[in-house]
Structure 1
Amino acid sequence: MIDVDRVDVRAAGVTLLRPVSVQVGVGEALVVRGRNGTGKSTLLRVLAGARRPSGGTVRVGGSLVDARDRRFRRRVSAMIGLPPMAPELTVLEHVRLVAATWYSDPDESRAVEGGLLAELGLDALSARFPHELSSGQTQLFGLALLLARPFDVLLLDEPEQRLDPEHVHTIIRVLRARRDAGATLVAATHSSVLADALADRTLELDAAA
């Protein structure tokens, strides 16, 4: 599903990502590890089409990454930092908006929004506004927006941020379910708990640095 061939990123004479090659299959989870500054987030931005590599190629589903291509946008859902949140919309309204944007069948859209909030333990918070959430609840809310749409590939930058151990296990369970259903996952993380529980393969950027 993902083929990264000798990709590197440089800016203003600074190397942000040393050359890296990796392949990730359908239904496989790749965990990216490394110290701060080794390029974990940069690699995810390249995979998401948010940053062009300085060298090498990246293909997703056999096609070169192109964020202007609707087929690519339909295939890849990425959370690299928290997604935009509208202060005047509730948690439920945010999730409903995302689901309705991507699903043409209203019944399917409603099923996604209801099941997702319950799965993440956010159903009791559905009427709250973003500013009324704790930092951990906001992280789970961001993940809900990521999952409220169809995708083949999930890209996540430190999804364990702001979460206590109980909720780290919640996102492990949720992400495993997506992987087991056939989604391809790439997650950058500092959490050994998440890495050990989720990874089919691990890419150590420290080794390339």
Structure 2
Amino acid sequence: MGAVIEVDSVDVVAGDATLLAPVSVSTRRGEALVVRGRNGSGKSTLLRVLAGSRAPSHGTVRIGGEAVTERDRGFRRRVAAMIGLPPLAPDLTVRDHVTLVATTWWDDPRAATRRAEEVLAELGLSASGSRFPHELSSGQMQLLALAMVLARPFEVLILDEPEQRLDPGHVASVVRALRARRDGGATLVVATHSPVLAEALADRTLQLDAAA
């Protein structure tokens, strides 16, 4: 089976600063690539390149055999990303946010609502569904951001430190959710500082310290 993600000699340079040293890696369908490295080693920059929000200075990136093009709807449907917290509407509840995302991507409104409820339950957010963003803890905000990504369809899932601000029990829930997507055939790229998440999820590991 061919590679879903192909990164060939990619780097990112801004003026005199190297944000991402040259890196090459590939990942197949149904695999999880875990990206490790100290702060500043380029993990988030690499994820932004994969998600199409940052162009590489050199090298090439292909996902599904095609160039990364964020403005292409086909690319956006294949690739979902959580890099930082998304913008939230203060007058929408947790359930509203997740259902809105699901409805954007699923044609059947009933299927979208069902999908939203499943993801809320999976991440332990059902009881917080009627809360507004300002009523959430930092960990619940992180789970909401993840729920908004998981509520939509994707073939490739890109996540930057999904374990941030989460206690061990919620990290375990996130691990189960991500393993289910991987085992269902999605390709995952996850940057993390968590040894627990890395050990539970990684089929391949990319260590950026040596390249930075």
- Tell me the TM-score range normalised by the shorter chain: over 0.9
The alignment partner of 1:207 has SS state of coil
- Total equivalences in the alignment: 209
- Cα RMSD, aligned residues only: 0.6
- Could you tell me which amino acid in structure 2 is paired with residue 87 of structure 1? P
> Is 2:119 aligned against 1:116?
yes
Q: Give deviations 1:145-171, integer Å, cap 9, x for gaps.
A: 011111001101011100011111110
Instruction: Select the residue among 24, 43, 59 that pairs with 2:27.
Output: 24
1:13 CA displacement? 1.5
> Is 2:36 aligned against 1:33?
yes
1:106 CA displacement? 1.6
1:108 CA displacement? 1.4
- Could you tell me which amino acid in structure 2 is paired with residue 79 of structure 1? M
Identity of aligned residues (%): 70
Taking the aligned partners of 1:14 and 1:50, their CA distance within structure 2 comes to: 19
Name 1:126's counterpart in structure 2.
Answer: 129
Name 1:165's counterpart in structure 2.
Answer: 168
Name 2:52's counterpart in structure 1.
Answer: 49
After superposition, residues 33-182 of structure 1 pair within 5 angstroms as 33-182=36-185
The alignment partner of 1:8 has SS state of strand
Structure 1: gaps (5+ residues):
none
TM-score relative to the length of structure 1: 0.99
TM-score relative to the length of structure 2: 0.97
1:107 CA displacement? 2.2
Structure 1 runs (4+) deviating above 2 angstroms are: none
Instruction: Select the residue among 183, 186, 201 that pairs with 2:204.
Output: 201
1:92 CA displacement? 0.6
- Could you tell me which amino acid in structure 1 is paired with residue 179 of structure 2? R
Taking the aligned partners of 1:59 and 1:111, their CA distance within structure 2 comes to: 33
